Amino acid sequence: MTPKPFEKINFGIGATRDLSLRVSVATLVRVLFENPRDGDLMLALERKATVLKDGSGRSVRVVAQPFGGAIRLFDPKAVRDLIGDFHFDSEESRGEQDFRIFIRPADWEAVQRFCINHFRDFEYSVLETDPRRELAEEFADALRISLKPDQYSLKPLGTVVEDDPAPTENIHARGHPTARVYRLFEARILDSSLSHAMLTNSQGYSNHDLQEFALEDARSAGKGRSSAVLTLPVKLISDVYLAMPPEARSTPISFEDNYLDESVGAILEGVTVPKYRRP
């Protein structure tokens, strides 16, 4: 579905004294495939390098996280009618109609109920409940391929809510306390050539390579981003999480020279992450 123009409503940007809680509503996709070499079930994550500007100059952060991304808010007026004024977190979010907004902290309960109710309608909603667009965009960025619908199957897995706000690393709102709602999906890769491509990509690029690509992108395009795939055996990474104390799963972890975002734990079957509530 194509985003509709805002109906002559001037939606603001950025936090204010009252609109101090950032809310991010996104999809997380558990991308699974069979390793063509040995039949092991593999998990594919997106490795993202981002140039961060700080007082000492530029540093590059590389993190592996589930595929997925911000859910589009097709009808921002529906949220305004529910809670009154709100702001998008950036010009980019407003332009893309991404559900990344600043609200009054007292409105958090109403916003999460709004999301959960609209998630129940997979075919049509005032929210973009289908992750296919974002998945295709991220595969194009990481693999330089055009992901086709017949290359994978897709099913919804449910919803998780992060009630306790935590500072975001998003470059457009870095440091702002953010509460989150995630819609979870599983994508099973059916095309063995795509499975080969993911394995090759994962092994072909180091985190150092991605850092260099991101720095070059900052110089040439001004964005400072690059991405690739990280593939891991599902059982291996699940066992790593299950061996950890539950409270340790709520923070990013280091695994085999990779930095795994805390949201990785949310998509692993049988793994409980205390910070994520399943409504």
For 256-268, write each residue's pLDDT tens digit.
989 999 999 999 9
Phi, psi for residue 100 in degrees, rounded to 5? -130, 100
In this structure, is residue 257 part of a structural domain? Answer: yes
The secondary structure of residue 53, as a DSSP letter, is: E
Structure tokens at 199: 């394995």
- The whole domain housing 186 covers 13-267
In this structure, is residue 277 part of a structural domain? Answer: no
In this structure, is residue 81 part of a structural domain? Answer: yes
CA angle (275 as vertex; 271, 276 as ends), nearest 5: 65
**Average pLDDT, rounded, for the chain:** 92
Domain count, the chain: 1
In this structure, is residue 215 part of a structural domain? Answer: yes
In this structure, is residue 272 part of a structural domain? Answer: no
Q: Is the pLDDT of residue 1 over 60?
A: no
Residue-level pLDDT at 4: 52
Percent of the chain with pLDDT over 90: 82
Name residue 173's amino acid: A
Pairing of strands 225-233, 177-189: unpaired
CB 152 within 8 A of CB 189: yes
In this structure, is residue 4 part of a structural domain? Answer: no
Please state, in angstroms and rounded to a whole number, the distance separating the CA atoms of residues 184 and 155.
9
Pairing of strands 41-54, 21-34: antiparallel
In this structure, is residue 168 part of a structural domain? Answer: yes
Q: Write out pLDDT tens, residues 190-240.
A: 999 999 999 999 999 999 999 999 999 999 988 899 999 999 999 999 999
In this structure, is residue 223 part of a structural domain? Answer: yes
